[in-house]
């Protein structure tokens, strides 16, 4: 913009020199035109800016990881002259799942009309994101003034972890009189307490086909809960690298594994007590018994933070210990755990109860951790491949 101002100054000086040198009506009109033109241009710019509106659709979104969605910028011109080009700078998602900072586009609109531009793509990692317009600037015809629009809309996007189904695997919880490897699920029985409309996340095996045919819409059986043993799932997500992408990758894997195990346990008619950290110091507990509880967990785990490395699961299990009866399986899902931390967990929950399964995203669990697990009855260590969480879990649960 500085070069245009300099150019105008040269033109103004030139017209003034002509007016003084020739002292004619023509040179005087030329000088007055050059002098007045910026004022007219500024007035039109201000009016255009005040009558210009930038909108973003949608204003919020709730999407799955790597799920394609679109954000549309709408420019409305409510003035009687065509809108000067609007330079829009914002943050938007790309087709490869990355977030583009300071993305520039130029939009204009005819009088009393709208123009639109659509960004399509996906987001690679779970979390909360703000997409949209950071700045919107209009320049006058001479490019010597600019008007910045006050309202720059943003879209709040929540990206949820992938939903992994483990329906073909063995039951993860068993009654006291059953083996922990039983293939018989409580939800497979004919015992149910009510019938309701189908909701997203319900399994087709729970559909009440007779009532479905009668009402001409899917109806599912509402099964009894807590008649079998529960499970405790401890999710410890902490930083393991200085690389932010790597931390996000393994954190997502832990969140997806915890949700997949929770969903499987609920589908088997049991309850899953989830223990997780909402920040570096606070530990929360949520007992999931129904599909609605699972959906709540999906929302929570979408924004579960990556905490600092510390005691992790060892400290969280203390809060969960009061929920343990000594017979339920315990799933510890973590981005990393040491043999010392594992021993501390065993001290808190004891070694004579149910299974203790440790799932870690480490490239290779330490030999000391594996050796420590071998000394505890029912304990095992498994690796989660962040690039294929579903296969990793299915291979250990068959």
Q: Supply the pLDDT for residue 157.
A: 94
Domain of residue 96, residue span? 52-160
- The contacts found for 316-321 with CB under 8 angstroms, 24 or more apart, are 316/234, 316/236, 316/275, 316/276, 316/277, 316/283, 317/234, 317/275, 317/345, 317/348, 317/349, 318/348, 319/275, 319/283, 319/285, 320/232, 320/234, 320/273, 320/275, 320/285, 321/348, 321/349
Percent of the chain with pLDDT over 90: 42
Does residue 359 lie within any of the structural domains?
Answer: yes
How does residue 228 score in pLDDT terms, banded at 50, 70 and 90?
Answer: very low
Is the same domain home to 127 and 269? no
Is the same domain home to 323 and 366? yes
Is the same domain home to 137 and 276? no
State the total domains in the chain. 3
Does residue 176 lie within any of the structural domains?
Answer: no
Taken in order 285, 366, 371, 394, is the CA torsion positive or negative? positive
Indicate the average pLDDT of the chain: 84
- The CA-based diameter of the chain, rounded to the nearest angstrom, is 112
Does residue 192 lie within any of the structural domains?
Answer: no
Partner residues linked to 164 by β-bridges: none
Predicted confidence (pLDDT) at residue 367 exceeds the cutoff of 60: yes
Among the listed ranges 34-43, 150-159, 184-193, which one has the minimum average pLDDT value?
A: 184-193
Q: Is 243 exposed, middle or buried (0-12, 13-18, 19+ CB in 10 A)?
A: exposed
Predicted confidence (pLDDT) at residue 67 exceeds the cutoff of 80: yes
Does residue 221 lie within any of the structural domains?
Answer: no
CA dihedral 230, 235, 236, 238 (to 10 degrees): 180
Does residue 166 lie within any of the structural domains?
Answer: no
Tell me the pairing of strands 60-64 and 154-160.
Answer: parallel
Is the same domain home to 156 and 69? yes
Among the listed ranges 231-235, 319-323, 343-347, which one has the minimum average pLDDT value?
A: 319-323
The contacts of residue 329 (CB under 8 Å, 6+ apart) are: 172, 173, 180, 229, 231, 232, 354, 355, 356, 357
Q: Supply the pLDDT for residue 203.
A: 63
Tell me the pairing of strands 356-360 and 379-383.
Answer: parallel
Is the same domain home to 19 and 56? no
Does residue 189 lie within any of the structural domains?
Answer: no
Among the listed ranges 16-25, 177-186, 373-382, which one has the minimum average pLDDT value?
A: 177-186
- In the structure encoding, which two tokens stand for residue 375, read together? 């000394």
Write the CATH number for 73: 2.60.40.10
The residue that leads in pLDDT, 322 or 39, is 39
Partner residues linked to 60 by β-bridges: 156
| CA dist., res. 166 & res. 394, Å (int) | 7
CA separation, residue 42 to residues 2, 21, 145, 358 (Å) = 16, 29, 7, 67
């Amino acid at each position: 913009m500085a070069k245009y101002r300099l150019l105008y100054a040269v033109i103004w000086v030139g017209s003034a020199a002509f007016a003084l040198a020739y002292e004619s009506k023509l040179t005087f009109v030329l000088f007055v035109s050059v002098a007045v033109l910026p004022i007219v241009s500024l007035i039109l710019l201000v009016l255009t800016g005040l009558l210009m509106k930038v909108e973003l659709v949608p204003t919020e979104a709730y999407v799955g990881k790597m799920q394609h969605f679109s954000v549309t910028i709408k420019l409305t011109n409510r003035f009687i002259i065509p809108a000067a080009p609007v330079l829009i700078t914002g943050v938007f998602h790309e087709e490869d799942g990355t977030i583009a900072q300071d993305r520039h586009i130029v939009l204009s609109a005819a009088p009393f009309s709208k123009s639109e531009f659509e960004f399509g793509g996906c987001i690679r990692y779970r979390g909360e994101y703000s997409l949209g317009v950071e700045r919107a600037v209009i320049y006058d015809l001479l490019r010597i003034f600019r008007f910045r629009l006050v309202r720059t809309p943003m879209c709040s996007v929540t990206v949820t972890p992938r939903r992994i189904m483990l329906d073909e695997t063995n039951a993860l919880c068993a009654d006291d009189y059953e083996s922990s490897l039983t293939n018989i699920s409580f939800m497979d029985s004919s015992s149910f307490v009510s019938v309701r409309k189908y909701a997203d996340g319900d399994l087709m095996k729970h559909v009440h086909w007779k009532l479905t045919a009668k009402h001409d819409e899917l109806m599912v059986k509402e099964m009894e809960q807590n008649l079998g043993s529960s499970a405790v799932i401890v999710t410890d997500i902490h930083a393991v690298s200085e690389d932010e992408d790597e931390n996000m990758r393994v954190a997502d894997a832990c969140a997806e594994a915890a949700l997949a195990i929770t969903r499987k346990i609920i589908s088997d008619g049991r309850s899953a007590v989830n223990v997780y950290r909402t920040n570096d110091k606070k530990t929360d507990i949520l007992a999931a018994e129904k599909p609605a509880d699972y959906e709540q967990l999906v929302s929570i785990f979408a924004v579960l933070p990556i905490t600092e490395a510390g005691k992790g699961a060892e400290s969280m299990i203390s809060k969960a210990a009061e929920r343990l009866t000594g017979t339920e399986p315990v799933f510890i899902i973590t981005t990393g755990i040491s043999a010392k931390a594992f021993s501390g967990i065993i001290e808190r929950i004891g070694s004579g109860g149910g299974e203790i399964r440790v799932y870690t995203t480490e490239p290779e669990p330490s030999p000391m951790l594996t050796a420590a697990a071998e000394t505890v009855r029912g304990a095992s260590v498994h690796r989660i491949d962040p690039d294929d969480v579903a296969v990793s879990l299915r291979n250990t649960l068959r």
